[in-house]
Amino acid sequence: MQLKLVALTLSIFWPWWSFEGAVGDPQLFFLTFECSTVSARDLSNLHQNRNASFAALRSQVSNQSKHFAAAQSTSGSDPVYATFQCRNYLSNTDCTTCFDAAAANIRNCSTGNTAHLVYDGCILRYLNSVFLDNSIIFSSHTFCGNQTADESTAFGTVGLQVLMDLQIATPKISGYFAATKTHVAGGAIYAFAQCAETLTPDTCLNCLSNQLSNIQGCLPNTNGRAIDPSGCFMRYSETPYFADNQTTDISLFLKQGPGGSMRKWVTIGGGLAGALLVVILLSLFFWYRRSQSPKRVPRAYTLGATELKAVTKYKYSDLKAATKNFSEKNKLGEGGFGAVYKGTMKNGKDVAVKKLLSGKSSKIDDEFESEVTLISNVHHKNLVRLLGCCSKGQERILVYEYMANNSLDKFLFGKRKGSLNWRQRYDIILGTARGLAYLHEEFHVSVIHRDIKSGNILLDEELQPKIADFGLAKLLPGDQSHLSTRFAGTLGYTAPEYALHGQLSEKADTYSYGIVVLEIISGRKSTNVNVVDDDIEDDYLLRQSWTLYESGKHLELVDKTLNPNKYDPEEVKKVIGIALLCTQASPAMRPAMSEVVVQLSSNDLLEHMRPSMPIFFESNLRAP
């Protein structure tokens, strides 16, 4: 299916910030219209199919009073699969009016084989292939009002709580919609959430959590909307747009827990909202903010010293002797954290000695030992072991186990290009996922690597992968603000939200992992634009992978040095699909690394998983 959509019109017909929609109108306030640039093969066939499916939709809406309708007309070369959804608080007459307006205007897309049009009251869309699970995310749109609520009303805090509750409750409600009215000092917040009925509860939750992360940026402004035209909608306002008797009691669907009774208070106690309530809500808000904010690698001393084994201290003179005075000959490479040397200890054991870039910051002194203690306690077969450390003056040195086979990039693009077969590549893909899953989810504290790339994946004698350089970001000299940590990543592998906004989570590693997987499959560097005669290859790796996968030509991505008789095309397709799930634009949509391990290990072909389009991030890729 072709997802190349372009916004034809995103014009706003009248100042929507002043418009809220009254109760009992079809809410034809225009939000967005997108029309595919891909033309139908036969326009009159498209128009016939479109008319037929729209007629079927209309009869379901107007005659059977449906709020959600699906219809298809598939004769000829250009099938049309259409869905319509109107907000459940609208009357049958208003839904029909909204449908008629949408159907008339979507015909402005005269040649495109895919389009959608969204009003406040309803959404109409059609595609040229069947709606698979509808987990396809075209694009998210957020519309924030520009008036700020009065600070004293706690509008922002209460609003955030309501939206969070809606996100949790809506997927559990039959019909997937909920409208709530919540009192705040001097007024109320009217909030609504809805998912397409074809979604699974999980995809509904996923979709809404994306919208929540967008719409929360509107608070404390008095209204906001966030939509994903392929799946869900969220809206809040201080002005009513549905009647009081149309609200849903969502408290039944919220998990009963310590917060459960408080939520009830929010609903019924708005007018009474005393100082205590505000304090509780504020702490909830900050707790939420914190849980949303980038996770930092917690310090070792918070773990209780007894849990962790002390780190081995090496003598500087021993390391100096082992590396022949850190000679150029022994140098294995130079990374973001400093140079690495091969060393041979007195007992004959080989080690890798990493001299960290020296910094003037005293922070390093304070944190060096606790960080190193933490890292040296990470034991997993897919993670490089830190054997010990050494401090002398300003010098900080880490000693690692030595990996005979050097790093994965050498096998993919370097001297040993073409020497890995498919089975070995698959094992590297799986092992790397296991190592990351351990760092993120199984170790005492969640460790985010921040710099996953093929140069940081080392191979042992059996060509099993071991991830290097984890846990080091805090040991970089300089201050630890976004600005400096942003450079911890490597261009081309860095998740867009991390590169652009410094938002760091485990999902940034998931993204980089997805890029590495594409490199392993294709034998191409993520940052290189491959200029081959065929024009589609004149493109960088992620975009090319997406294009080929979407057009069913994914096998063209596979490294030409691989023997086509030696791999299973279905397995290759599955792995490319997983890589594209990992590189989706929305961090929330990307799988956790433990899910990646499960997906890789299972034989299901992930029929239900459809990756959404990544952000193509070209400016990032003109890097050397």
Ligand X SMILES: *[C@@H]1O[C@H](CO)[C@@H](O)[C@H](O)[C@H]1NC(C)=O
Which lies closer to ligand X via its Cβ, residue 138 or residue 400?
A: 138
Q: Which residues pair with 122 in a beta bridge?
A: 86
Which lies closer to ligand X via its Cβ, residue 2 or residue 9?
A: 9
Closest C-alpha among 483, 490, 503 to residue 587: 503
Residue list for the binding site for ATP? 355
> How far out from the chain centre does Cα 18 lie?
33
Least distance to ligand X from the beta carbon of 105, Å?
Answer: 4
Least distance to ligand X from the beta carbon of 236, Å?
Answer: 18
List CB contacts of 414: < 8 A, sequence separation 6 or more.
none
Which lies closer to ligand X via its Cβ, residue 92 or residue 391?
A: 92
The torsion of the CA quartet 535, 539, 542, 544, rounded to 10 degrees, works out to 0
- Cα–Cα distance measured from residue 329 to residue 347, given in angstroms and rounded to the nearest whole number: 21
Closest C-alpha among 456, 493, 454 to residue 471: 456
Least distance to ligand X from the beta carbon of 58, Å?
Answer: 7
Which lies closer to ligand X via its Cβ, residue 28 or residue 613?
A: 28
- Cα–Cα distance measured from residue 453 to residue 493, given in angstroms and rounded to the nearest whole number: 7
- Cα–Cα distance measured from residue 54 to residue 25, given in angstroms and rounded to the nearest whole number: 22
Which lies closer to ligand X via its Cβ, residue 243 or residue 555?
A: 243
Residues 486, 492: contact at Cβ < 8 Å?
Answer: no
Other residues' Cβ atoms within 10 Å of the Cβ of residue 587: 20
Residue position matching structure tokens 């459960």: 260
Residues 386, 399: contact at Cβ < 8 Å?
Answer: yes
Helix axis angle, 593-601 to 422-437, nearest 10°: 150
Name the DSSP letter for residue 342: E
Which lies closer to ligand X via its Cβ, residue 107 or residue 417?
A: 107
Which lies closer to ligand X via its Cβ, residue 62 or residue 330?
A: 62
> Which tokens sit at 382?
């897919």
Residues 388, 313: contact at Cβ < 8 Å?
Answer: yes
**Quick one: 280 exposed, middle or buried, by C-beta within 10 A (0-12, 13-18, 19+)?**
middle
Least distance to ligand X from the beta carbon of 33, Å?
Answer: 4
Active centre residues (catalytic): 451
Residue list for the binding site? 355
Residues 295, 301: contact at Cβ < 8 Å?
Answer: no
Least distance to ligand X from the beta carbon of 268, Å?
Answer: 20
Name the DSSP letter for residue 326: T
Least distance to ligand X from the beta carbon of 391, Å?
Answer: 56
- By beta carbon distance, the residue nearest ligand X is 59
Binding site for ligand X (CB under 6 A): 9, 17, 33, 44, 47-48, 51, 59, 63, 105, 108, 117, 146-147, 243, 245
Closest C-alpha among 493, 467, 497 to residue 375: 467
Rg of the chain on CA atoms, in Å: 28
Least distance to ligand X from the beta carbon of 216, Å?
Answer: 20
Name the DSSP letter for residue 61: I
Least distance to ligand X from the beta carbon of 544, Å?
Answer: 33
Rounded to 5 degrees, φ, ψ at 312 are: -70, 135
Which lies closer to ligand X via its Cβ, residue 19 or residue 413?
A: 19
- Cα–Cα distance measured from residue 436 to residue 13, given in angstroms and rounded to the nearest whole number: 49
Residues 61, 86: contact at Cβ < 8 Å?
Answer: yes
> How far out from the chain centre does Cα 95 lie?
34
